[in-house]
Structure 1
């Protein structure tokens, strides 16, 4: 078989890349070992985070760092034996999180964040899945007055980005979400973000659009990718595939394909969990709500209320641990009367993260026809469609509309 491009990975990033290249007249094969949207794209909180213009940085507050060191918090947990393995990465993450470097990362990410909702809108309309999207924003809840004061100050600093929000006191929060228990000092209602009721269904809808437009969706192992002279060959369930270009959009598994090709990617993963709980007359929500102090999200989803955890630092492929989800569930029960779990076992996934908080998007510097699009950390679902357009513009030599060089792997030198 032959094609112009093979896109390795059928998550939100890979599917979006395939659609945008297809729209530019390229013959595209989308390859994955599973059905579209069953890995990292499946397990998020369903937020298209238009208001999250500041990347998630390493904390610099010494008191907060000490509390993390005790490993008793809900928002971040770690496996102690794993820390020495990522100590260098954590040090680089901390270094890049200085105020000056964080400001640079914010400026680099802003053009993509600003386009995130518009790019999703375009694909959702074409795919006929706009019913999965909600335009009611999401709500940050603060338990203490101290945290609320800090959140309000942070929101005011973001006004220069043109973001819309409302400050809610206890009564205002109760009016928006009457089933929340009255334990919050107040909240910030962010109005610009869009949320979805089923992230996996969104990815499947985009993939169905790709197939409807003539694209080929195949099963296969990305680890079989090989360069043969000026082409790339990949084994699929339908036979050997030969293409001129290959795009690595495998999220946390991208490093597995690139390492044999000589690339050393400074990536770590932040694992996370989710579980659905049945909706009852005391647990209905109309917005996703975030417990800022404890780092989890409660989102109304098709399958119930989805509880999504914060960050677990552990090996990507290690067995799931119940610790973080159990802590988050206990804190969530203080907020709302959760029903019974829908699934017997929680879902676990891994967010691919680079220490400078920027994704890798652009051409490989050692191999002709090899492209990269991964490392979106907490914003993969948000930035999938805009990444698809950016890669398609770069591959076809068209104007990207903003400077894409900060995303290239070369920023780390000749790894």
Structure 2
């Protein structure tokens, strides 16, 4: 018999944004909670991103409403924990480099305004006034005041520390091996260090949730490695917005659903590898941002579909280096301090799954996890409590086709 490591009311597996906020929310509702993490908090995709919180690019309906609720949730955390994670709402710029792109983005702005977003078209000069990081290749931009940015590793660490102070026990370097069941009833989880007994189990394991098939939990997730290039810090630009560009719009669902949208208009010498009916092995999401410390992030590449390989590929590296050369020739002497990938995961409809499945709970599939992760933690805790609402219904696993 395996040694007993701990026991609790709920055990949460995964200490990224989704898992750690789930633990925090459960503890605030009076549950005794244990968190199991295979490495350390924010080790995975939650710690490998620029912290961009995009509102303007979310499709109307649940995706937009959930992201807005997630943004409000950060303000709740600031009220409770202080702004220890560099949250700032400086807006987002979506710049364009051809007149044809600009025409499509004009329709995009009209669509967004109809939904109540604070958004406008800018000419080249006005865009450059918003941020000197706007490339000289840009001829205009869309600006939305609602987009924001934060440091997701700092956020995860802040919530983890607050959870620990409240009594949540976080076990690092403790991989979960399998669910312990008494018949069909979940009674705990087996780990490399011993058993943790709990009548409720939450899987918040991001891309690694594809392995839940062996537990009888089938969630149709798409996985890929998402690459980033990180350049050494320069003087931070005050109030700099986060930015997107036109060289691939792989996750911009609001644009892709426009009647006038054409994939070919948002490619650059093949960057993006997008077609109407086929997912090719490489795609690109044209994003640029600067951290509060002045670090410049350029990306993102998507390759290695169906894999859990976190190591950046040569083709992905070249795409991002080429983008940096084209946009910022004056910065070629800056050092590259990071070139890596995190393993991203999402569902076909770009919404997470927050539900009870086969006796356990799942909080996975966050395509826009910076926005939806914190509110997902609240929704997961409410689901464990037996509470329901519009979001709970929209995020059930039954909406997705079985594998």
Structure-2 change in CA distance of 1:108 and 1:284 (3 Å): closer
Which residue does 2:274 correspond to in 1?
none
TM-score by length of 2: 0.81
Q: How many residues align?
A: 356
Structure 1 residue 350 displacement after superposition: 1.8
Query: Shift of residue 311 of structure 1?
Result: 2.3
Aligned match of 2:196: 241
Question: In the alignment, which residue of structure 2 is the partner of 1:361?
Answer: 354
Q: Which one of 177, 190, 200 corresponds to residue 153 of structure 2?
A: 200
Residue matched to 2:162: 209
Q: Which of 312, 320, 337 is the equivalent residue of 1:328?
A: 320
Q: 1:34 to 1:281 in 2, by over 3 A?
A: closer
Partner residue in 2 for 1:45: 50
Note the C-alpha offset of 1:44.
2.1
Backbone CA RMSD of aligned residues? 2.4
Contact 1:136-1:287 at 8 Å conserved across structures: yes
State how far apart, in whole Å, the 2-side matches of 1:227 and 1:188 are: 53
8 Å contact from structure 1 (residues 218, 236) kept in 2: no
Q: Which residue is equivalent to 1:24?
A: 29
Cα drift, residue 251 of structure 1: 0.7
2: CA distance, partners of 1:314 / 1:324: 13
Q: Say which SS state the counterpart of residue 362 (structure 1) adopts.
A: strand
Distance 1:409 1:277, change over 3 A: same
Q: TM-score, normalised by structure 1?
A: 0.79
Task: Report deviation, 1:215.
Answer: 1.0
3-state DSSP class of the match of 1:53?
coil
C-alpha change, 1:111 and 1:180, in structure 2 (3 Å) is closer
User: Superposed, which structure 2 residues align to 1:296-307 within 5 Å?
Assistant: 296-301=286-291, 302=293, 304-307=295-298
Q: Give structure 1 regions of 4+ aligned residues with deviation exceeding 6 angstroms.
A: 281-285
242-251 or 210-219, larger mean C-alpha shift: 210-219
Q: 1:6 aligns with which of 11, 22, 25?
A: 11
Q: Which has the higher helix share?
A: 1
Question: Which residue of structure 2 aligns with residue 316 of structure 1?
Answer: 307
Rate the CA distance shift 1:313–1:239 in 2: closer, same or farther, 3 A. closer
Residue 281 of structure 1, CA deviation: 6.5
Please name the residue that 1:289 is paired with: 243
Compared CA separation, residues 131 and 315, structure 1 to 2 (3 A): closer
Unaligned runs of 5+ in 2: 1-5, 249-284
